[in-house]
Structure formats: structure tokens, C-alpha cells
Amino acid sequence: MVTIILAHPWHGSFNKAIMDTIISKYEKENTPYQTIDLHKDNFNPVYSEEELSLYSQGGFIDPIVGRYQELIKKSDELIFIFPIWWSGMPAILKGFFDKVLLKDFAFNYENGWTPLLSIDKTTIITTADQTTESIINNCGNPIEGCLIPAALNGVGIKNATWINCGQVVKGSDEHRKDFLKKVESIV
């Protein structure tokens, strides 16, 4: 099962167009998929003191966290779609990692750090006003240098690839259409 995770608040965005392109392809191919739309779900990425007190036990209060964990358990592939803002992921996606990928669900560290998930393929699709080269040169590659090796691989989310549509706002319609074709060819 493929799980598509969208972290963009505006459903008129290019990020939503990317998700729609993937869904259209999967529906034509009868590929099973499910979606997590963090904003549409009104996911709260901010830990309360009460929630944080359960972190070391792998516990949670928000029922949406349990629903997301169940969706991830059914997945053998994840697709993350999000804009790069201020050199990183949106806060709502960071909160998703914080609150959903919990101890005894995604990892444990009783006998050394142990990933508990087994996701065989991951695709990270981002958009940015900057070029991909500018992101890498200015930020030290926040996706391939940090997110993939530290956060994803560390919990068993493997074989991640990253593609970015740079200059998404300033680029031409043809630039964006070409990127959607690229997305369709790799998923």
C-alpha cells in the first residue's frame, strides 16, 4: 500500500497538483493508495505538556496519531509532498514526525537504537522558490543530508529518493508541467 502524505495548507497549490497527478496515475493503474492530508485533517503539530509527558512511553492522546500509525503500518511505500520553507519542511510535517513516529511504534532504544518500521520505498517531492542547487549550497541539503539519513532511515523508512521543483513560483507553466510528468514517471 502506498501512503501519500501532503503537508501544504492550500488546495490550490502546486503541491496539491502533484498529489492529484499521483492519485490519477494510481487510479488508472489500480494501485492501492491512501492519503494523509495534514492540513485537511486539522492535525495539530504542537506538543502539549500532557502529550509530551507520554513521549518516553510511546503514548499519545490525539486519536489522529493512532489513525496515522495504522495507515503507516499498512504501508510499504511512502510519498511525502511538501514545500521547502525557510530551508526546511513546514512545521506541520515536523510535528507529524515528532508526534506519530513514536517509541515502540517507529523505533526503540532499549538495546541500542532499533528501527521498527519496514517501509521499502520512499519518495520525497518538494517545491521551492529557490533552485535545487541553491537549496543544497545554502542549506547543506536538508533533505538528503539530514531528513533521509537521520529521521527516515533511523525508523526503517528506506530507499528514499528526493526530487524538487525549484523556482516553482517564478518558473513557467511549462516548467511545472514538465515536473508533473517527471513525478508521474517516477512514482
Over residues 45-75, the pLDDT tens digits come to 999 999 999 999 999 999 999 999 999 999 9
Q: Which three cell numbers stand for residue 44?
A: 495539530
Task: Give the count of alpha carbons within 13 A of 20, CB side only.
Answer: 8
What is the CATH number for 140? 3.40.50.360
Residue 155 to residues 44, 68, 90, Cα–Cα distance (Å): 22, 15, 20
Q: Which helix (H) or strand (E) holds 6?
A: strand 2-6
Over residues 78-103, the pLDDT tens digits come to 999 999 999 899 999 999 999 999 99
Residue 132: what pLDDT? 92
Q: How would you classify residue 30: left for phi > 0, otherwise alpha for psi between -120 and 50, otherwise beta? A: left
More confident residue, 183 or 87: 183
pLDDT band at 172 (very low <50, low <70, confident <90, very high): very high
Residue 138: what pLDDT? 86
pLDDT at 110 over 90: no
pLDDT band at 139 (very low <50, low <70, confident <90, very high): confident
Residue 140: what pLDDT? 87
Residue 96: what pLDDT? 98
Q: What percent of the chain has pLDDT over 90?
A: 96
pTM across the whole model: 0.97
Q: What is the mean pLDDT of the chain?
A: 96
Where in the sequence is the domain holding 159, given as residue range(s)? 2-186
- Total domains, the chain: 1
Q: Which three cell numbers stand for residue 17?
A: 497538483
